[in-house]
A and B are shown apart, each in its own frame.
Chain A
Amino acid sequence: MKVSQIIKELNLIVFSGNGGLEKEVSGGYVSDLLSDVMGNASENEIWITLQTHKNVMAVASLKDLAAVILVKGLRPDKDTLDESNNEDLPILGTSLTAFEISGKLYNLINK
């Protein structure tokens, strides 16, 4: 499933990284610890987190993740947003909690 389809189905906000919306998504990873994502997330996954600072983009791009979803109505910092546009790696947003959006994404991807 493409990032763009997931945005539509889960009603996500697109903050930045519009150039990466046609990427294929293989799954998801939920964590607020950067080393955990570094060590355990896989290529083309969507990362669900509450972290909004620029290092999120460093981790997401080094690991070739498909996109980042910020939970609970959080917004990316300005330099995070710029980096997302540079890398064509979308930052998305939801007002839901990590638990809620993970459940929905899991069901959608495994449908």
Chain B
Amino acid sequence: MHFQYSIEGGDFSRAGNASSQLKKLLKQLNVDSQLIKRIVVALYEGEVNIVAHAHRGTIDVDIEPDKVFIRLSDEGPGIPDIKQAMKEGYSTASQKVREMGFGAGMGLPNMLKNADKLNIESEPGKGTIVELTTLLR
């Protein structure tokens, strides 16, 4: 099964919509609820990162019998130093974004903790691709 969502940078009011739709769908498919939570935590952080840091993006979700594969690709500033960005507490979020309770620098670490596989590719000045794989046991 394949689904696609598009995301606009800066539009916080819609952040989380893709995650909440995916949650409902996985529930219907009787996926274990703890596993669903891990998947949507990781996806939510990815959605927020596109909204907070990029211009626009696309989310592709592939649900297969043995795994859920999510690809978030965006047009944006990219991540010049991925290793640094992965550090807990590292954030370039604006003051306004921080006041909303985002920008704690915990998003990428949350994705790493909650996905079975995390792959990030980025081209500074162009954009970022984040791939999340969760195995369905």
Contacts and interface: CB of A to CB of B under 8 A. Distances in A.
A38 B100 contact: no
Given A39-B110, A58-B16, A63-B37, A32 B101 contact: yes
Given A51-B101, A62-B20, A35 B110 contact: yes
B23 interface: yes
Nearest to A62: B40
B76 to A, nearest CB: 19
B13 A79 contact: yes
Contacts of A14: none
B37 A35 contact: no
A36 interface: yes
B44 interface: yes
Interface string A51-66: 1011100110111100
Contacts of A62: 16, 19-20, 23, 37, 40-41, 44
Chain A: interface size category? 20 to 34
A49 B100 CA distance: 11
Contacts of A36: 104, 106
Contact of B100 (A53, A61, A63): A53
B43 to A, nearest CB: 9
A32 B15 CA distance: 17
Given A34-B48, A34-B102, A34-B104, 10 more contacts: A38-B44, A38-B106, A39-B109, A39-B113, A53-B12, A55-B48, A55-B101, A58-B20, A62-B19, A62-B40
Interface of B: 12-13, 15-17, 19-20, 23, 33, 37, 40-41, 44-45, 48, 100-102, 104, 106-107, 109-110, 113
